[in-house]
Chains A and B, each alone.
Chain A
Amino acid sequence: MGSIIRLKSLTKKYKIGGEVITALNNVNLEIAQGEFICILGTSGSGKTTLLNITAGLERPTKGSVIINGVELSKVKEKDMAVFRRKYMGFIFQSYNLIPSLTALENATLPLIFSGVGIKERNKRAKELLVELGLGNRLFNKPTQMSGGQQQRVAIARALINNPEIIFADEPTGNLDSKTTNEIMELLIKLVKEKNRTLIMVTHDLELAQYADRVVHMVDGEVKKISVREETDYA
C-alpha cells in the first residue's frame, strides 16, 4: 500500500510581534492509505499546525506536502476548494455546523458545493445519518441537538463526499467520556469500513489508543512514532 500523504521536512514559522516562533521544525512523515494516524501533543506542540498544513489550510514556511502525488504548494488557493472537496473531509472540536441549516442540510452541504442534485444528496445524507443513529434528528437545527449528535452530523458531513482522507481536530474535545467513546467507535468503524485515511489530532492519551500509529509532537518536532500492535477495536 503506497503512501497517500507524504510530508517532507515541514517547517512553519510564525511572527508574533517581533518574535519568530517555530511551530513546526523539519517534520517528515508518510501516511498510508487506510491508516489511522493520531497526532498527540500538548497545546503549543504544533499538532494543529501540522494538521492544518497537511490539509492545505496553511502554507508551510519550508518543505512540501504531497497528497496522492500532488504537491499542495503548487495548487492555487482558488483550486484548493475543488481539491479539498475531492480528497478531504474535516471534523472539528466545536462541530462547526451551520446554525441555520438542519442536520440533513448540514450533512449535504459539501454535495451542494459539488453540484449534486437534491434527490441524490438527500438520499446519501439520510443513509449516512441513519447509520450514525440520527434517523429521528434529520430536520433538527444544531441548537436542538446535543454535542454528541452535532458531532455525528459533522462526521456525516465529513464522509458524505467519500473523501480519501478525514482530518479530525480534537473531535471529542467537547464531549463527555461516554459520548467520546461512542463517537470514536462510530468514526473508526466508518473509516475502516470504507478504507479511508484518518488523521486525528488530540492531547488525550486514551484516545490515542485507537490509532494505528501515534505521532508524538513536542515543541514542533516529532518526538517518536509508536505503532499499535493489537486490533481490539474491530
Chain B
Amino acid sequence: MNKLDLLRLANKNLWRRKGRTILTMIGVFIGTSSIVIMLSLGIGIKENQRRDLERWGSLNIIRVYSGVRFDDQGNPLGEANQLDDNAVNEIKQMEGVVGVSPAYEFGGEASWGRKRGYIQLIGVDPSQLENLEVSISEGRLFTPTDRYCIVVGSQVINNFMDERAMRRGIYIPPTNTDPKEMLNQRIAVTVQNSWGEKGQKKVFNFQVVGIMDEKNMERSMEAYASIEDIKKMRDFMLKVSNNYPQQGIMAGGRNSNSQARKSSQKQEENYSFIIVRTKDVAYTKKVSQALRDAGYNAYSIADALEGIEQSSKIIQAIFGGIGGITLLVAAIGITNTMVMSIYERTREIGIMKVIGASFADIRTMFLAEAGLIGFMGGGAGLLFSYLASYFINKLAVNYINMGMPMEEGAVKISIISPWLALFAIGFSILIGLISGLYPANRAIKLSPIKAIRNE
C-alpha cells in the first residue's frame, strides 16, 4: 500500500468521528503542552543560571595553579608540578585549548597623580591577549613591542583615593567613577626588596592604554600588563642580599642553606599561574579535569556549572515527569479511541481483508490513524506552548528584569529550544504509535468471515 494513500485513508477515517477524534486529540494536546511548558521552564532556569555565571567571567577560561593533590587520607600524592615553560607547552598541546599564557601576578601599592591606592597586576603574553578574551571598551590592547603599558579593569579606578582628601578626613565613596578617567594616565608602582640592610626601592611607571569592558566581573579589579615587565618587577623584588641569607639561617645550617637557595631560585622561575582559554564550556570541563589528573590545580567559573546542571537536571526531570503523566493519560485515551473505532469498524476491516488488504496494510492503517492523532494533538500542543511561553515571559519580565542592567536584554524564564520542539512532535507521534499498537494488532486478528457476518 502506497504511503500517501495510507495517510489519506487514515486521515479520512479519523474525521468520520469528529467529536471523538477531537476529544482524543485534546488529551494529547494537553499532555504535550504541559510537557513542553514544563521543560521550557526547566531550560529557562538553567539558561538564567548560566547567564548569571557568565557575568562573573567567561566559562572558557581556566586558571591553572601549581598544587599538590591529596589522597583520601590527606597524604600528598607526589610532588607539585612546576608551572614553567614545559607546562605551558604541555597545556598548549591539549585538545580544545585555543589560547595559553603564563602569568605573573603582582599586587602592590601604586599612585596615580595625587591619588594613592592598590593595584593587582597580571603579566601575560601580549600576543595572547585577544585569545584570552581580554576585551576593551576604551583605548587599545598593548602589543608585544609596548613597554610598561597596561589595560585596567573597570573597577580598578575605585582602588585609588585622593591622598589629600583622605588626610583631611573627607571620605569620598569610590563609586560612580568613570573608568575612562584612567585612560592614558600614568600609574607608578613602587617595589621594595630586601637587598642589603634596608632594602632597595624602585618605581615602575605604567601607562594605561586601555580600559577593559564589563563583560567579565571576575577581571574588573585586575590590570593586565606584559609578562616581561612584571617579571622584571618580580626579579627586583625577590632579589635577596647575599650577606643576608634569611632563609638559610631560619633553616639552621649551611647544607640546607644552599638547598634553600636553590629552591627559592626554582620558585622564581615558576609562573604564578597559567591562563588557559578553551574552545567551549564542554572543553573547559574536560581540560580542567585533565589538568587536575596531571597534578595541577585548575579553577574556572565553569566548575560551578556542574552543580547547577545537576540541579537543573533534577528540576527538569520533575517538570518533565508531571507533563509525562498527562501525556500518559492522553496515550490511554488514544488506545481507547482506537479500540472503540475498531469495534465500530469490525465489518469494514473484514471487508478490507476480503478484498485484499494484507496484515501489514491493516496494521499500518490503524497505526497511521493513532499516529495522526498524536501528531495533530502534539502539533497543536506545541503551538499553544509557544503562545503560553510568550505570555509567561512577557508577564515575568515585569518581575524578574527589575534592577537588571538594560543591555542584558529580557530574561526569559520559559525557553522552547528547537530540540524541545522537535522532541515534542516526535514524542507525541511516538506516543500515538505505541498507543495504536494494541488496537492495530486486535484489528489484524479479526477473522474476516466473522467480521463480515457481523451485521
Binding site for B on A (CB under 8 A): 52, 55, 57-58, 78, 81-82, 84-85, 89-90, 92, 94, 96, 98-101, 109-110, 112-115, 117-118, 157-158, 161
Contact = CB atoms under 8 A, between A and B. Distances in A.
Contacts of A113: 1, 352, 355-358, 361
A85 B448 CA distance: 14
B354 A90 contact: yes
Given A78-B359, A81-B356, A112 B16 contact: no
A206 B358 CA distance: 37
A94 B353 CA distance: 16
B13 A81 contact: no
B47 interface: no
B358 A112 contact: no
Given A52-B449, A58-B449, A96 B347 contact: yes
Contacts of A92: 452
Nearest to B449: A57
A57 B448 contact: yes
A100 B16 CA distance: 7
B9 interface: yes
A81 B351 CA distance: 11
Interface of B: 1-2, 5, 9, 12-13, 16, 347-348, 351-359, 361, 448-449, 452, 455
Contacts of B358: 78, 81-82, 113
A110 B359 contact: no
A211 B351 CA distance: 26
B354 A84 contact: yes
Nearest to A157: B355
A109 B352 contact: yes
Contacts of A117: 2
A171 B386 CA distance: 57
- Interchain residue pairs A-B with the least CB separation, the first 6: A85-B356, A81-B358, A57-B449, A96-B351, A113-B356, A113-B357
Contacts of A84: 354-356
A201 B449 CA distance: 15
B354 A112 contact: no
A222 to B, nearest CB: 22
A96 B452 contact: yes
Contacts of B448: 57
Contact of B355 (A82, A110, A115, A118): A110
Given A96-B351, A98-B348, A114 B356 contact: yes
18 contacts: A55-B354, A58-B449, A78-B359, A81-B358, A82-B356, A82-B358, A85-B355, A85-B356, A96-B347, A96-B351, A96-B452, A101-B12, A110-B355, A112-B1, A113-B355, A113-B361, A118-B5, A161-B356
